[in-house]
Structure 1
Amino acid sequence: MDTADKKSGPGGRRVSSIERILGRIDDLDSTNLAILVQRLARERALFEMLFNTIDEGIIVIDDAGTVEYANSAGMRMVGLRANETGTAVLWKLVPDLARSLNFLPGGEDTLAPNITRDAEVFYPEHRWLRLQFSRIPLPEKKTAPARFVVILRDITADKNSTEEMIESERVNSIFTLAASVAHEIGNPLNSMKIHLELIRRKLEKTTLPEKAAGTVKNSLGVCLEEISRLDEILKNFLGAIRPQKPALARTNLLEVVLDVLGVQKAELENRNIRCSMTQVSKELPVVLGDVSQLKQLVFNVTKNAMEAMQDGGSIAIETDCDDAFVFLRVKDTGCGISRDDISKIYEPFFTTKDNGHGLGMMIVMRIMREHGGQVGIDSEPGKGTTVTLQFPKPEARARMLPSAGKS
C-alpha cells in the first residue's frame, strides 16, 4: 500500500486510494476513469465471491425493511429471488423472521441497536435460525437513511439434536415409570390368576348343583379371560414405548399399508370415511424396516386421521420415491392442527382428544428415528392434515448401518 493509503479521514478512519480518487472524480480523464471502473468491478466481484462462500446468510435492509443486499445463503434462507433485491420487503417476505426482530411497519423505533436471538421460521421451509441484527453506522452524512445488517445461521440440526436428546430422556423416564406401574399392577394380576385357577380346580372336586357349578365356572372363566386381557394390554403398552432395535428386512410399504387398512376397514366404514391409495412413482416403495413396527407406525397415523374427522371425510394415502428416499403421505380432510399444537405433538401425553393418551405420535417419531427416517406434518385448522413419513432407500440405509453400529 502506498503512503497515500495511510491518510485518515474524519474520526481517524483510514481513507482508501479509491475513496480519494472518487473525491476528485470530476478531474479524471476517460482513461483513468475506465481504470477506476475496472478496479471497482474487480473488487465488487471479489467481495461477491467471498460473501457467497459464507455459510451464514447476510442480508442488508433499509429502514423500511426493503432488502438491499443478500448473499446466496441469505437468499436461500428467506426464499428471495435474485431479481427481488431492492424491491422485496422483509416483513412481507418472512413474517416470522420480521416478528422475531420486531421489524414490522412502524416498528423501527422499538428496535434495539444489536439483537441476537433464535427464531423459528416457516418460510420457505420450517427451520430454526440464529439471528444477529445490527444497525449499520451512518457515514459522515448524518441524513443518510438507516440501514441494518441481519446475519442468519441455520441451527436446525443443532435444535433437532437437542430435541431428540430431550425426547430420548423423556421416553426413558416414561418407560421407567410405566415399567414400575406395570410391575405393581402385574403382580396382583398374577396373584389373582393363580388363586382363581386354584378355586377352579377345587370347584372341579366339589359336588355342586349343576346349574350353580356352571354359573361359578362361567364367572371364573370371565375373570381369568379379563385378567389375561389386562396382562396383554400391559405387555403391549410396554412394548409400544420401550426402545426396541428393529429387525430390518426389505419391506414393501404398500403391503404394510394394505394390511393395516384391512384391520381398520370396519372402523372406516362406521365413520363414513373414504380411503384411497395411490402409488405416485412407478418404483415400488421398498424400505429396510421392521414389519411389526411399520404396521404400528401406519396404524397410529391413520388412526389419528380417522379421529380428526367426526362427520366423515376422506383419507388419501400416497407412496412416492426419489433418488434417495421413499415417502409415505397420509392426507386427511379433518379438523387440522394449530401451529402451536404441531410443536408439541411429539411430547409424551400431549393430546387434543377427549379420550386420547398422547403417546401415538411419540411412538411414530421413535419408530421413524429407529428406521433412519423423518416425520413431517403440514396442517391448517379446518382444512386437514398431511403427515409425511420419509424413509431412506435400502441402499442408503445399508450404507448408514455400519457407522451406526460403531457409535
Structure 2
Amino acid sequence: MFPDSPSQDRSSVRWFAVGLATLSLIALSVTSWILWTVKREQELVADLIRHLPPSDMAAAQELSGDLRSQLGLTILLVVNLVATAIAFTWLVRGYLNSERSLRDVRVLSADILASMDAGVITTDRDGNLTSINPSGRELVNLAGDEMGRPLTDLGSGHELLAKIQAEVSEHHQRIRDRDYVIVGNGQSKTLRAGCTLLRNQSGSEIGTVLHVRDVTQKSLMEDQLRRMERYMGLGALAAGLQHEIKNPLSAMSLHIQLLCEWQSEGAAGPERDKDVNETLEILRSEMKRINDVLDGFRNYASTTHLGRTEVDVPAMIEKLVRLLRPQAESQNVAIAMDLPTKSLGIVQGDSVRLEQVILNLALNAIAAMPNGGELKFKVDRSDDSLRIAVSDTGHGIPQEIRSQIFDPYFTTRGGGTGMGLALCDKIIQQHSGSIDVRTGPDGTEFTVFLPMEEVL
C-alpha cells in the first residue's frame, strides 16, 4: 500500500556492514597468505639448517627466531580477525533485528491505515501522489496504480484536493474541514478534506498529507439540526414579536377608545383639546415603537448575502471612535484603544455589518456607564482568528440573565427593542466567527473572533 523506500539511516547501516565484511575478507586473505608464507619459509630454513656447517648454525638459529616472531604477529592478526568476526556477527544480528522490528512497525502502520474509514493520501512537494490507503482509493474512486501522477488526475469532482494541497505547499499553513460534493451512480456524497505538511525526522518538508472523510450522513444531520434551530428560533422570534407588538397595540386600542368616547360626548374646550393632543402623541409614539420592532425583526430575519471584501479592522475602529467620542465625553466616558502596529492578517467580511456590530457593542458599553468610566477597544490575534475586544467599567450583567442576552427581544432597558445583541450574534455567525462575553462587578467585555487569512 505504501512504498517501501529505505531511509538514510538504514542505507548507512547497510554500507557500514558491507564495508566491515569487505575488511574482514581482506584481513582473512592477508592472514592466510602470511601463514602460508611463514610456513614455507620455515620449511626452507629447516632444509638449510640440515645442510649448513656448524659454523653457520648461529645465524640459522637467529633467522629461525625471526620467523617465530612473525608467527606471533600472525597469531595476533588471527585474534583480531576472530574479534572482528564476532563484532560483525553481532552487528549483523542487530541489523536483522532492527529490520524485523522495522518490518513489524511498517506492517502495523499499514494495518492501522488500512483499518481507518478516512482516506489518507500523501504527495511529494510537486503535488504528485506517493501513497494512498484503501479507504482513500474508495473515496476518490481510484482503481489503478496512480503513484507518481499529480492530484489533478484524480478526476472530476476532486479538484478541491489539488487546490488545498497547492495552498498548503505555498502558504505552509494547515487546512481543516473543506467540504465538497461529488456525484456518482446518481447519488451525491459530501466529502470533508483537510491537508497538512509532511515532514521527515529532521523536520525538512517532503510533501503533504491529505485526509478525506465521507460526511454525507453527518452533513444531513447538521442540515436537519440547522433547520430545527431555525424553527425554534422562529418560534421564539414569533413569541417575542407578538409580545412586543401586543403591548403597544393594547395601549393604542385604549386611547382610540377614549378618543371615540370623547367624540361621542361632543365636549370641546382647551382641556379636551389638550387631552386629545396627548392621546395622539401617545398613538404616534406607540406606532413608532411598532415600526422599530418590525424593522428589528426584518433586519434579524433578513437573508441578504454578505458583501465580502478585505476589512481593515483597526482603521474601522479608529473611525468608530471618532464617531463615538462626542457622546462618550458627554457622559464622562474615556475611550482607550490597544491596536496592533502592523497587520495581523486579512479579514474577509462585510465592513458595513461589522461596523454595525462594533458600534452596537460600544453603545451598549456607554449605556452601561451612566456615571462615567472607560470604554476600551483591543485588537490582537488568537490562533487563526482576529480578536476584537470591547470592554467597559460598568456595573456588569447580572448572573440570572447572562444566558438570555443574545435572545431576540430580550432587553433590560425600557427604550430598547432587544434586537441589538441578537443581530450582532447573527452577523458574526454569518462571518463564520463567534462572540463571547465576560462580565463581573468591574465591568463587561464582549469579544468577537473573526477568521482571517495569512499576510503574505
User: TM-score scaled by structure 2?
Assistant: 0.40
User: Comparing both structures, which one devotes a greater share of its residues to helix?
Assistant: 2
Structure whose CA Rg is larger? 2
User: TM-score scaled by structure 1?
Assistant: 0.43
